[in-house]
Amino acid sequence: MQSKQKQMLAVWGSPGSGKTVTALKIAAELAKGKKNVAVVFCDAVAPPLPTVIRTKKSADGSLGAALSFPVISQEIAMKNLIASEQNPYVSFIGYAAGENAYTYAGYIKERAVDMLVLLRHIADHVIVDCSSVLNDNVLSTAALEVADNVLRLCPCDLKGLSYYMSYLPLIGDRKFKTDKHIRVLTNPHPYQGGREYENAYGGVSFCLPYLPSIEEQAVTQNLLAPLSGKEGKAYESMISAITREVFDSDQ
Ligand SMILES: Nc1ncnc2c1ncn2[C@@H]1O[C@H](COP(=O)(O)OP(=O)(O)OP(=O)(O)O)[C@@H](O)[C@H]1O
Ligand SMILES: [Mg+2]
């Protein structure tokens, strides 16, 4: 039976490291086991909701709207969750097209925690696609504290490494349990020394390969679909291994 204890995952890492793609691929993996998954898109700067997934035409929920209530009820959370058009087990909550962090009044950390706790009650699993920049993203910061596991994506580029080093002191507080973060190397290209990056990040537990077909899925809003070919299957088995590790499941 599925453990209820490992239910929420926060996906975090440098800008462009593959957070949104990885969050959606893990959601699709969990959905194979007929588990309801809620994906939370924290980014208010370039909201992923209108760009990376297909939703029902009538969908009009917003994370910003839900967070701006003085008290968030289960009904409010559910009203702002948007069902996937492609997968009946996956739903999303994020900022809508044209919205940004200033569309709504600011919210406090307590509200962010309330939201995450409610989503835990609503869905079997919650995956939080965090914003890279935490300074003004209360929900991402709360997710890093509240989630049962944090996937820390470590891309094979110098900008990603620079981000990693600059953020280490900012999340040094024990509440972030940085030593428990599960590091994943992303986007290694054949011409790069993946091993050197692995060492520079202090070792990684998993490596997600770069696949052109994933870029194609991203631009066609089709990331919940399975991948084909040998490389696609290899990528999916890595996603499956990560999913088992982070949710402590037999998935
Ligand atoms: N394994 C992969 N293979 C090929 N392309 C990938 C892979 N993972 C992500 N990408 C591509 O890299 C780009 C960045 O991915 P994604 O949007 O998931 O990153 P992110 O960390 O969420 O970015 P942001 O910081 O802007 O939110 C996208 O164009 C995506 O299609
Ligand atoms: Mg993203």
Q: Which two tokens stand for residue 51?
A: 């760009």
Whether residue 157 has its Cβ less than 6 Å from ligand 1: no
Whether residue 132 has its Cβ less than 6 Å from ligand 1: yes
**Closest atom of ligand 1 relative to the 15 alpha carbon:** 25
Q: Which two tokens stand for residue 168?
A: 């280490």
pLDDT at 62: 95
Residue nearest to atom 25 of ligand 1 (CA): 15
* Domain residue ranges of the chain, discontinuous segments joined by +: 8-247
Q: How far apart are the CA of 117 and the centre of ligand 2, in A?
A: 22
Give the Cα separation of 101 and 107 in Å (integer): 10
| 18 neighbors 208 (Cβ within 8 angstroms) | yes
- Once rounded to an integer, what is the mean pLDDT over residues 13-31? 97
The pTM score is 0.95
Q: How far apart are the CA of 210 and the centre of ligand 1, in A?
A: 10
Find residue 11's DSSP bridge partners: 129, 151
Q: Is the pLDDT of residue 57 over 90?
A: no
Write the CATH number of the domain with boundaries 8-247. Answer: 3.40.50.300
**Closest atom of ligand 1 relative to the 217 alpha carbon:** 31
Which residue is it, tokens 């011409």? 191
> β-pairing, 149-155 with 8-13?
parallel
Provide φ and ψ at 139, rounded to 5°. -65, -40
Q: Is the pLDDT of residue 47 over 50?
A: yes
Q: For residue 222, give the 3-state DSSP assignment.
A: coil
Q: Which two tokens stand for residue 178?
A: 């940085």
Q: How far apart are the CA of 1 and the centre of ligand 2, in A?
A: 32
3-state helix, strand, coil in the chain (%, to 5): 40, 15, 45
Binned at pLDDT 50, 70 and 90, residue 3 comes out as very low
Lowest mean pLDDT among 154-158, 159-163, 183-187, 193-197: 193-197
The helix/strand count (H/E) of the chain reads as 10, 8
Average pLDDT taken over every residue of the chain: 92
H-run or E-run covering 229 = helix 229-247
**Cα Rg for the chain, rounded, in angstroms?**
17
pLDDT at 1: 44
Whether residue 214 has its Cβ less than 6 Å from ligand 1: yes
Say which amino acid occupies 213.
S
